[in-house]
Amino acid sequence: MTARTVRAIGRHVLVYAGLAPFVVLAVFPVYWMAITAFKQDADLYRMDVVPFWFHLPPTLEHVTRLFTQTHFAEQLLNTVQLAVCVVAVTMLAAVPAGYALARLGLPGAENIGIAIFLTYLVPGIILFVPLARVVGALGLFDSWWALVLVYPTFTIPFCTWKMMGYFKTVPAEIEEAAWVDGCTRRSGIWHVVLPVSRPGLIITAIFSFSLAMQEGFYAVVYVSSRSEQVVTVGLATSLIRGDIFYWGSLMAGALIVGVPIMLLYAFVLDEFIQGLTGAGGR
């Protein structure tokens, strides 16, 4: 090997050696959830062996308990439906609002955008009482539809601010060129601006989807029916009974919910990074 090749190999070894601890820290929680989800109870609570592997044959007992002795399947369906509805509502509100603030030259648009973003920072504990009156007036208590109404109150402000900033990175010249070619503003937005802004749209959708999947405060306050709860609340209330924790089933539920989202992030990672940096619009 030449000296240049040796230096290149050494550089790669150093890079990967530096990344290795971070990879271990990122992967270990998922590995630990998987091990716990499939361990027998007799193996899970043994203190005389190394806990990082199976010492008894794996079992599906915890997964079976999750689906047969709790409302996990219903709650998972509620969570997915809720997340899809929240994403749809957020996109329908945040994308036009972000475009209007970025492109239409509204007086004080920058300050309006900042004011909208600041509403995202208001703690939920301050808002849940007035929002409860709205939920009660609409008869939505103990229904996951109450969360469809409430969650956009914190997804729309951030996503509007994010889309406003992203639309500013899209060159105005390409939209003006579409007008010259005969497009109206509406068709120019649809055929030119939105396709160019795809990374920003993706990060907006993923952000609102993630928040809807992980939020727990409003879900506890407004929904108490087991069949209407979402998994963030349902897992804890069904599998934590006093000082008894069903760790295997808890980890199985976390694995079923978390791994698909992790794969979703991995699948759109490049566009997700572009959406964060605004690089896709340049």
pLDDT tens by residue, 134-171: 888 888 888 889 999 999 988 898 888 888 888 888 88
pLDDT at 279: 44
Work out the average pLDDT over 198-215: 85
Can you read off the two tokens belonging to residue 108? 């004080």
In this prediction, residue 280 carries a pLDDT of 42
DSSP-assigned states of every residue in 194-253: HHHTHHHHHHHHHHHHHHHHH--HHHHHH---GGG--HHHHHHHHHEETTEE-HHHHHHH
Largest distance between two CA atoms of the chain: 77
Residue 185 to residues 100, 129, 176, 213, Cα–Cα distance (Å): 12, 41, 9, 35
Roughly how many angstroms between the first and final C-alpha of the chain, as a whole number?
42
Burial 60-75 (b: 16+ CB within 10 A, else e): ebbbebbeeebbbeeb
Q: Confidence class of residue 242 from pLDDT cuts 50, 70 and 90?
A: confident
Q: What pLDDT score does 168 carry?
A: 83
In this structure, which amino acid lies at residue 189? I
What are the tokens at 151? 């969650």
The 8-class DSSP code of residue 140 comes to -
Quick one: what percent of the chain has pLDDT higher than 70?
95
Mean pLDDT of 5-15: 82
- Does residue 190 carry a pLDDT above 80? yes
Task: Please report, for the chain, the start and end positions of each structural domain, with discontinuous segments joined by +.
Answer: 3-59, 64-281
pTM for the model stands at 0.81
Instruction: For domain 64-281, give its CATH number from 2.20.25.90, 1.10.3720.10, 1.10.1660.10, 3.40.50.720.
Output: 1.10.3720.10
Average confidence (pLDDT) over 91-120: 85
pLDDT higher than 60, residue 263: yes
Cβ-proximal residues to 33 (8 Å cutoff; 6+ apart), any chain:
251, 254, 255, 258
DSSP string, 50-118: -TTS-SS---SHHHHHHHHSSSHHHHHHHHHHHHHHHHHHHHHHHHHHHHHHHHS--TTHHHHHHHHHH
* Res 81 pLDDT > 50: yes
Taking residues 79-101, report their average pLDDT. Answer: 91
